[in-house]
Amino acid sequence: MQKSIIVTGGGSGIGKNVCEALANEGYGVLVADLRLDAAQQTAQALAAQGHLATACAVDIASQSDCAAMAQAAVAAFGRVDGLVNCAGISKPVDSLVCSADDWQRMIDIQLNGAFFAAQAVGQQLVAQGTGGALVFISSTNAEAAFPRRASYCAAKAGVAMLTKVLAIEWAQHQIRVNAVGPAYVETEMTLRNIAAGNVSREAIEKRIPLGRLCKPGDVADAVSFLLSDKSSFITGQSLYVDGGWLAYGYF
């Protein structure tokens, strides 16, 4: 039977690329995004290539939206085999002036949303009794502190611990839970941060030992591995796809 995966944030960037990679590997893909039009574009492009793909709207910060998302996958494919949580936002702001709303929104989406999406899919996997695999897109910022990104870094560090807790809690159901933490990926999010002057491309390339930005395909390859049986004894791990960023401790 064809396996099916839910990809949140599948309307653009890393999520869109992950949808394409997984569809090419034969998974049925539910493309879920806050922007339904973007999700539909991704799903329609995949369907036009003969892949099994459909779209739904979701705000991962909403527990009921995430439950409906899991049910939409069951309605479309008859079952769910896993989740890739790529939905997210970035909004660098000076900690001295970060508003309560900005702080809350970041935590709601990047941390609470990761939990609600995983919970909804976890419930379905347990009900099916099939096991499965979940992958969170975290960040090198789960480990490395950047200025003006207190809420983002705190949320991503939370996702790294969430990965461990869910992994050990759900191992009895043969559900594996891992995270992929990229460094700067060449997506709209990064290009917006470069355009806004939050970071320069040259500085990123200089700081990464492999000398280039991460490509969305680099992330998709790691996700694909962590969903596959090739990683069947790996759970609770964060795999950093960072060109050596975190290893680098010299000048």
Applying CB under 6 A, the residues found at the interface with ligand NAD are 8-9, 11-15, 33-35, 38, 58-61, 86-90, 109, 113, 137, 139, 182, 184-185, 187-190
C-alpha 170, offset from chain centre: 19
Q: Measured between alpha carbons, how far is 88 from 77 in angstroms, rounded to an integer?
A: 25
Query: N- to C-terminal Cα distance for the chain?
Result: 52
CB-wise, 66 or 175, nearer to ligand NAD? 66
* Ramachandran sector of residue 236 (left: φ over 0; alpha: ψ -120 to 50; beta: rest): left
Question: Catalytic residue among 27, 152, 184, 240, which?
Answer: 152
Concatenate the DSSP letters of all residues of 119-187 into one string.
HHHHHHHHHHT--EEEEEE--GGGTS--TT-HHHHHHHHHHHHHHHHHHHHHGGGTEEEEEEEESSBSS
Q: Cβ of residue 29: shortest distance to ligand NAD, in angstroms? A: 14
Q: Cβ of residue 156: shortest distance to ligand NAD, in angstroms? A: 7
The enclosing H or E element of 41 equals helix 36-48
Q: Cβ of residue 13: shortest distance to ligand NAD, in angstroms? A: 2
Residues 6+ apart with CB under 8 A from 193: 90, 92, 199
Give the Cα-Cα-Cα angle 102, 145, 157 (nearest 5 degrees). Answer: 70
Q: Cβ of residue 68: shortest distance to ligand NAD, in angstroms? A: 12
CB-wise, 131 or 217, nearer to ligand NAD? 217
- AA letter at 158: G
DSSP state of 35: S
Q: Cβ of residue 1: shortest distance to ligand NAD, in angstroms? A: 28
Q: Cβ of residue 62: shortest distance to ligand NAD, in angstroms? A: 8
CB of 227 closer than 8 Å to CB of 5: yes
CB-wise, 15 or 132, nearer to ligand NAD? 15
Q: Measured between alpha carbons, how far is 198 from 144 in angstroms, rounded to an integer?
A: 17
Q: Is 152 a catalytic residue?
A: yes
CB-wise, 35 or 206, nearer to ligand NAD? 35
Q: Measured between alpha carbons, how far is 73 from 79 in angstroms, rounded to an integer?
A: 7
List active site positions.
Answer: 152
